[in-house]
Amino acid sequence: MGSCRGFRYAFASIAAAFSVPFFAGSASAAFGDIPTSNVSGPIPTSANSYPFLATDIDLGQYGYVEEEYFLEGEGYRYDTPLVNYQTNANKIVTGEAHNDGKYPFKTRIVVRRPANPADANGIVVAEWNNVTSTQDVEFNWLGDPYFLLRNGYTFVGVTAQVTGVNSLKAFDTAKLDGTRYGSLGTTADPSPGNGLPTNDPGYLPPDNDPLSYDVFSSVVKALKGGRTGVDPLGGITATKVIASGESQSCGRLSTHYNEIDPTHDIVDAYLLTVCNSPLRTDRSKKAIRIITESENRTPRTEANLPDTSSIRHWEVAGGSHLPRVAWDNLDDIFTRDVFEGTASCQKFPLSQVKWPYTQNAAINALVSWSGGGVAPPIAPRGVYQDMPADPANQLVRDQYGIAQGGIRYPDVTVPTATNDGVNALEPGGGLFSAFCQLFGSSTPFSSEQLHGLYADQGDYLAQYIEAADAMVGTGFILQEDADRLKQDAREFARLRPSKPMLVGKTANRGGFQLKWVGTEAPDTTFVVQRRAVGGNDWITAAPKSIADSTATMANQAQGTHNYRVSTSTILPGTNISPAETVSTPFSELSGSVKVDRTGPQKPKIVLKGKRVKGAFKGPVRVKVVGKPDRKLPDGSAGVGLNNKSVPKTRTVGKKGKTVIKVRTSDKLGNKSPVAKIVIRIKR
C-alpha cells in the first residue's frame, strides 16, 4: 500500500483490520520519509489503570470521549544545529543493532475527540507534551480545554521524549497496577554533537532525545492516515493537524519547524507558546508564536523575531509563563496522579491574565491562514526603557507596575490588580518553588486604590466591557472568549455596588424594588440598609428577597428614607491561597423613597340651609372640606391629599333622615377616617 501515497482509500476500516497502512487524506510528498507506526488501542481503563493526567472534565456533557493509544515503530536520530537553524537537519543513518540508524520506539497518545465523528470540525491540535517538571504535561490543553471542546476540535497529546516516558512508568509503578506503561520506550543513543564552539554556525549540540522528532512526525502521519493498526481518531478525518508546544516543548517544536518539517512536510501549521526560539523565515508553513511578560522582559525585536508572510510573533502584556487558569485546570489531576504542588514565592504566584484565550484566536487564525485565508494581525511589541535600572527587566511600567505595549487584555487596561510575569523563589518553599520565576504574580489593588479608579462595580463593568469588546476587534481574542472575560468581571467581588435605583415610583406603600450593579460571584450576601432623610442612624432593611442584584422590599417602615447596599463574598480557597471573605464599602445613597400607608385627616362636612328646631326646613347644601395628609412617623410629610377624592358639593332635599358618610384618600390611595353627619329635613 506504500504506493498509494496521496490516494484516498475508501475502505479504511478494512485496511485497519488487516494492519496495513492507509491514508485518510492527501498525504504529503514526504510521507515515505516518516516512520509508519502501528497503532493499538484504545488502551482499557479501570480504577487501577487509566491514562496519566486523564482529564477530570465531564467530557460527556460536550459529546466527547478520552482514549489512549500506543504507537510503535522505528525512527531515526537527527543532528539539529542550534546556530545555523535555517538549514535542514541531517538524519543519522548509522547506529543501532543493524547499523542502519533505525531505533525502535513505542509511545502513547491521549485523544480527546467528539464521540460522533459528524460533530468534529476536522482540525486536530497535536500537542508535544512538556517535560520540564519531569512529568508528561499538556500545558496548552490545560490553558483552555473548553474552547476546543465547544468547537468540535480533536486534541491529541503526544509523549515524544524520554523524560515523558520515564514519568509514565514511574506513575504506573506508584499509582497504578504496574502493567500499563511498562512496554513504552523512546530511548536511542544520544546524538553526539560535534564539539564545535556553541556560537559556531556548524555547532551541533548533544541531544538525549534524538528520536523525538521522528516520534512526533510519525504520530502526525498516523493521525492523517499513514499507519497500520487501528484508527486513533475513531473515524474522524483529519483535514488539518496543528502542532502545538509550550515552553520546553515549544523549543523542540521550533526545531521541528526549522529543521525537520522542511523534509517531512507533515504538519499543517504551528502554535508555539512561551518560548523565544527563532524560526527560519524562508518557509511558507504558517506559525504563530505567543509569549508573555515572563519571556519578553528584555526586547524581542523585529530583527530577531520578525513577523513575516508565514510567521506572527504575539506578546501578551501582564501574562506569565504559567497562567493561573492553566494551573487551576492542572491542580486537581496533578495532585491525584503525582502529589500536591506547593510553592513559596516572593510575590503571590501566577498572573490572572488569561492569555490562553489568545492561543484560541491563534488556532482559529491558523486554520484559515494555512488554507490561504487572510493573514492574522501583526501585534504591537513591548515598550522598553532606554536606560533600564535593571537590564533583566526593561519593560516600561505604569504607576501600578503594569507593563506597557503588547497585546493588552482588559485586565491590564481596566486593572484591579498588578499582573505581571515577574517572581522569584522564596527560600524554604515547596518543590514547585523552583519554578517561581515562571509563575509571575498577581497583586490585588487595595480597596482605596480600587475605589480611586472606579466609582463602583457598575463603573468598573462599563469600562471593562468596552475594553473587552474593543479587544475583539484587534483579532487577538475571539468574541466567545471576550464574553467569558466579561462574565469573570461580573463576578469581581471587591468593588462596592452601584447606587441602588428605585424600580417604580419614589412614593409607595412599602412594597417596591431596588436595583443595582453588584458582583455576581457565588456565595455573596447583599446587605441593604436605610436611613431617614437627614438622619444619622442606619438600620438593616430586610428585603423580602434578593436576586440578580435586585431587592424586593415589602412592608417597609413609613417615612422618607435613603437606601444603600454592600456585599460580603466568600472566595473559595485553593492550594495556593486560603479562603477569604471580602466585604465591600456601602454604595452611594439611593434617591429618597417615601413610604406612606397613613391616610389624610378626617374631612370636615359643612351644611348650609334653614334650620328649624334641630332640623332643616327645605333643601340642605352639603360641602366636604378635605383635611391635609398627616405627617409620617419620622416627621416627614406624607404624599399629600388627593383632591379628586374630596366629594363635590351637593344638595339634599329629601324629607326625613339622611345619613352622610364621607372619607378622602391621599395620592397613594390611603383612606382617611370616616366623617359622618345626620341631616333631618322636616316635612
Between CA 56 and CA 45 the distance in angstroms is: 14
Q: Does one domain contain both 575 and 625?
A: no
The confidence score (pLDDT) of residue 294 equals 96
Same domain, 506 and 577: yes
Domain with 529 in it: what CATH number?
Answer: 2.60.40
Give residue 574's pLDDT.
Answer: 72
479-490 and 356-369 helices, crossing angle to 10°: 170
Dmax (CA) for the chain in angstroms is 143
Q: What whole-number distance in Å separates Cα of residue 242 and Cα of residue 371?
A: 12
pLDDT at 575: 65
Does residue 465 fall inside a structural domain? Answer: no
Closest C-alpha among 211, 249, 216 to residue 75: 211
* Cis ω for the linkage preceding 114 (within 30 of 0): no
Phi, psi of 665 (to 5 degrees): -140, 160
User: Is 263 part of a structural domain of the chain?
Assistant: no
107 and 210 fall within a common domain: yes
Q: Judge whether 350 lies within some domain.
A: no
Distance (Å, whole) CA 515 – CA 509: 18
Tell me if 611 is assigned to some domain: yes
* Residues 552 and 643 reside in one and the same domain: no
- Are 106 and 226 members of one domain? yes
What pLDDT sits at residue 19? 34
244 domain residue, yes or no: no
Q: What is the mean pLDDT of residues 341-363?
A: 93
Burial of residue 619 (CB within 10 Å: 0-12, 13-18, 19+) is middle
The domain tally of the chain equals 3
Please report the pLDDT score of residue 1 as a whole number: 29
- Clarify whether residues 89 and 207 are in a common domain: yes
pLDDT(383) > 50 = yes
DSSP E strand stretches across 208-327: 228-229, 240-246, 269-273, 286-292, 311-316
For residues 538 and 644, state if they share a domain: no
Q: State the pLDDT confidence band at 290, using cuts at 50, 70 and 90.
A: very high
In a domain, 434, yes or no: no
Mean pLDDT of the chain: 92
Of the candidates 353, 420, 415, which has an alpha carbon nearest to the alpha carbon of residue 382?
420
State how far the Cα of 651 lies from the Cα of 517, in Å rounded to an integer: 58
Q: Do 656 and 510 reside in the same domain of the chain? A: no
Residue 319, all three cell numbers? 501574562
Per-residue model confidence as pLDDT tens digits over 574-628: 766 789 999 999 999 999 999 999 999 999 999 999 999 889 999 999 999 999 9
- The residue with cell 413609613 is 558
pLDDT at 675: 97
pLDDT, one tens digit per residue, over 65-103 is: 999 999 999 999 999 988 889 999 999 999 999 999 999
| pLDDT at position 191 over 90 | no
Q: Looking at the structure, tell me whether residues 580 and 625 fall in a common domain.
A: no
With a cut of 70, say whether residue 12 has pLDDT above it: no
Residue span of the structural domain in which 639 resides:
604-681
Q: Do residues 507 and 632 both lie within one domain?
A: no
Ramachandran category for residue 193: left, alpha or beta (phi over 0 → left; psi -120 to 50 → alpha)? left
For range 327-354, the mean pLDDT? 92
Q: Which of 235, 255, 271 is the last residue of a domain?
A: 235
Q: How many whole angstroms from its chain centre is CA 526?
A: 25
The pLDDT of residue 30 is 55
Mean pLDDT value of segment 544-571: 96
pLDDT at res. 550? 97
Ranges assigned E (strand) in 374-422: 417-420
User: Does residue 578 sit in the same domain as residue 633?
Assistant: no
Task: Say how far apart CA 533 and CA 594 lie, in whole Å.
Answer: 10
Q: Render pLDDT for 441-496 as a digit per residue (tens, 0 to 9).
A: 999 999 999 999 999 999 999 999 999 999 999 999 999 999 999 999 999 999 99
Whole-model pTM: value is: 0.90
**Which of 595, 628, 647 finishes a domain?**
595
Do residue 154 and residue 107 come from a single domain? yes
Residue 59 lies in a domain: yes
Mean pLDDT of 287-310: 96
Q: From 235, 261, 292, give the residue that closes a domain.
A: 235
Share of the chain above pLDDT 70, in %: 95
Q: How many CB atoms lie within 10 A of CB 131?
A: 24
% helix, strand, coil for the chain, step of 5? 20, 25, 50
